[in-house]
Structure 1
Amino acid sequence: MPGPPEPHSGRPQRDARSGQPTLRDVAERAGVSAMTASRVLRDDPQVLPATRERVRAAATALGYRPNEVARSLRLGRGSGLVGLVVTNLANPFYSRLALGVDSVVAEHGLKTVIGNTGQDLDAERELVSDLVARRVDGIIAVPAGADQRHLAAAAADGVPVVLASRPPEGFAADCVLVDDFGGARDATARLLGRGHRRIGFLGSPPAVYTGTERVRGYAAALTSAGISLDPRLVRQGQTEPDEATRAASALLALPDPPTALFCSNNRNTIGAFRAIRALRASGGPPVALAGFDDFELADALGLALTLVAYDSDELGRAAGRLLADRLHDRRRGVTGETGPRPPRHVVVPTSLVEYGT
């Protein structure tokens, strides 16, 4: 009976597409069949120890790495990846959100892949389509707008989808929200309680759910104080500090300027601070400032500042837990009495913090 083939000693034949050694190269070098090599690399306990050592040594010597995407396709599983879709990576809020997501999904053996849409709906559609094509296990998204048909399509294809900072539109999905309305109302009420009656508003584009909810909370606080909202004091659409500085400067240059500003996110608050600092340096009147989102160095600005604070890491952790639960249910085939479990909505609470007072 002929013995096993001699170990392969020539140069490996690289995969034409990836340039990497193939499973067949490992098998030839170890002197086994490709099926046996595959069984070893899948930790099949039925393979003899000596054969396992030989195959693993061959894989190490060749620098072989299994094609996890192809393997997942064969096994009917995902890629071990979770897609996180955000709108503005320049905003530190999203780095905290990502850390929260990753801390949870990593406990389940998953890795996070982050994609930035720049608040562009077409870019978001393309990114979601690409993630689905790459067979991610799930998607956590901060949608750029109300048109979420691409996310609904991903969910319909069997990819669990969790939304963060914005509720689902037109389809059922788990989501994690911040108390945007309540936080904005409370911060504006704090300014009103200090005697301010003309309070300007700086916020995100109207299509952004959080900005819409926060301007609604601002308006509700004014109404409760018997003050009509003055549209001339509202500036929406700023996504970066430079834009917010220009918008705040325009408000402060009005014939009857506001005595306080409320900003709907940290980028607008930073821009407004610069405008207020410039006004103060030129001998202008003091202007009070309040904003949504706490941020680093807020206590070092040398200005009285009221901020709406919440745990952005927890926002990410909550989204990660919702997704992990959906993946667990899918693996076990868990459903409710009449079908899949109903979607869950988690609301992260807010509080007010004061700096420089």
Structure 2
Amino acid sequence: MPTTLTQSSSGPERPARSTMKDVAQLAGVSVKTVSRVVNGEPGASVEVRERVLQAVDRLDYRHNLGASTLRRKDARSGIVGALLQDIGNSFSAGLLRALEDALRDSGVSVLAVSLDEEPERERGVVADLVTRRADGLVLMPASRRHEYLLSEHRAGLPIVFVDRKPHGLDCDSVTIDNVLGARMATAHLVAGSHRRIAMLSDLEEIETAAERIAGYRAALAEADVSFDPALLVPSVRSEAEAARVVAGLLSRADPPTAFVTGRNILTIGAVRALRSAGLSRQVGLVGFDDFPMADLVEPALTVIRQDVRRIGGEVGRILLARLSGDTAPPNHVVLAPTLVPRGSGEIPLAS
């Protein structure tokens, strides 16, 4: 069969992809028969299916799933969108991998996007995925209200919120008990006789950050430790900023003797500042979120661990159930975090 070349103004000529018509000619069948075979529809004998599949292999044919979906109202794209905050972060990356593993055997692929706490980006990406007929959405929202999803939810689009709860929309969610986690971290340091415990947090308008601040304050109140507003530093957004904040707090006349950090990148910044000050073994530290090599730091890091694999597995389970037609009331799964003591959180108050 002759090869057709296409001319590109921006690069060298390259062979055009084989079409369904090419496959039909090579297999000696109709285009409709090829369509049935590649779309997994009945109506073709075993012998005919084998001829078509052999032609597909010989021609290196790639089925245009998007075009097929447009032609068939009941067809699925085989794609779900995962809108996470930062897929470069170890928490989001671990969650994405767990979700992919949960969906792999179902033939569903995951398209991941970083939102970077930008509500307008969230809305734009959602609109794009809906236009492209995504089968479902997994959303770690940047926006605070989610009524804009009501029409899609009513139309039957499966939407599962993860890490943060939906507001203005009642749909499936999988979250962590952030208040409990921060209470555990703070209480653990109080048990080591610490009273001047500082906390570094992300933006207060982020739901998870606000919940972790609440847990920190609750643990201080339960231990009858006075809350010092100067020791709570919200809106810390990066590792470098966290290092500067910790260094500044340590330079005070009445410095904190321990820290709770509300996010893994803030924990890394705190570690750098403590090491630079030569205080890694004198100041207590408990971080929220585990991350790779946290156990290799000296001293190894005590953390509040979220079971990322379980979170991703729960999201995948709910999503697959919805894709299979489950119309039960929304699931609201809340998982408990665990304290992992490794050394940094067990440093007692210096005498």
The equivalent residue for 2:291 is 295
For 1:264 and 1:240, locate their aligned partners in 2 and report how far apart those are by CA, in whole Å.
12
Asked whether the 8 Å contact 1:203–1:215 carries over to 2, the reply is yes
The equivalent residue for 1:347 is 334
SS of 1:122's equivalent? helix
SS of 1:58's equivalent? helix
Tell me how far 1:144 sits from its aligned partner.
1.4
What CA deviation, in whole Å up to 9, does each residue of 1:11-57 have, x standing for no partner?
Answer: 4598x9x9532222322344433223323434566435554444334
Tell me how far 1:304 sits from its aligned partner.
6.3
The equivalent residue for 1:64 is 61
Q: CA RMSD in A?
A: 2.4
The equivalent residue for 2:349 is none
What CA deviation, in whole Å up to 9, does each residue of 1:156-203 have, x standing for no partner?
Answer: 343110011111110011111111111110110111121111111101
The equivalent residue for 2:172 is 174
The alpha-carbon distance between structure 1 residues 117 and 61, as it changes in their structure 2 partners (threshold 3 A), is same
The equivalent residue for 1:158 is 156
The reply to whether residue 317 of structure 1 matches residue 304 of structure 2 is no
For 1:193 and 1:51, locate their aligned partners in 2 and report how far apart those are by CA, in whole Å.
73
The equivalent residue for 1:236 is 234
For 1:27 and 1:304, locate their aligned partners in 2 and report how far apart those are by CA, in whole Å.
63
Q: Structure 1-normalised TM-score? A: 0.86
What CA deviation, in whole Å up to 9, does each residue of 1:222-268 have, x standing for no partner?
Answer: 11122332221111222321121112112222232211111111111
For 2:44 and 2:329, locate their aligned partners in 1 and report how far apart those are by CA, in whole Å.
45
For 2:342 and 2:47, locate their aligned partners in 1 and report how far apart those are by CA, in whole Å.
67
For 2:100 and 2:336, locate their aligned partners in 1 and report how far apart those are by CA, in whole Å.
21
The alpha-carbon distance between structure 1 residues 285 and 295, as it changes in their structure 2 partners (threshold 3 A), is closer
The equivalent residue for 2:263 is 265
Asked whether the 8 Å contact 2:158–2:322 carries over to 1, the reply is yes
Asked whether the 8 Å contact 1:148–1:168 carries over to 2, the reply is yes
Asked whether the 8 Å contact 1:100–1:313 carries over to 2, the reply is yes
Equivalent in 35, 38, 42 of residue 38 of structure 1: 35
The alpha-carbon distance between structure 1 residues 107 and 210, as it changes in their structure 2 partners (threshold 3 A), is same
For 1:61 and 1:70, locate their aligned partners in 2 and report how far apart those are by CA, in whole Å.
22
Q: Percentage identity across aligned positions?
A: 38
The equivalent residue for 1:25 is 22
Q: Which runs of 5+ in 2 are unaligned?
A: 9-14, 347-351
The alpha-carbon distance between structure 1 residues 118 and 44, as it changes in their structure 2 partners (threshold 3 A), is closer
Asked whether the 8 Å contact 2:281–2:299 carries over to 1, the reply is no
For 2:183 and 2:255, locate their aligned partners in 1 and report how far apart those are by CA, in whole Å.
21
The reply to whether residue 203 of structure 1 matches residue 201 of structure 2 is yes
The alpha-carbon distance between structure 1 residues 236 and 56, as it changes in their structure 2 partners (threshold 3 A), is same
The alpha-carbon distance between structure 1 residues 305 and 47, as it changes in their structure 2 partners (threshold 3 A), is closer
For 2:296 and 2:45, locate their aligned partners in 1 and report how far apart those are by CA, in whole Å.
65
What CA deviation, in whole Å up to 9, does each residue of 1:66-105 have, x standing for no partner?
Answer: 1112222333222111111110122101111111111111
Q: Which runs of 5+ in 1 are unaligned?
A: 1-8, 336-340
Q: Structure 2-normalised TM-score? A: 0.88
Tell me the number of residue pairs that the alignment of Structure 1 and Structure 2 aligns: 336
For 1:43 and 1:90, locate their aligned partners in 2 and report how far apart those are by CA, in whole Å.
36
Equivalent residue letter for 2:211: E
The equivalent residue for 1:226 is 224
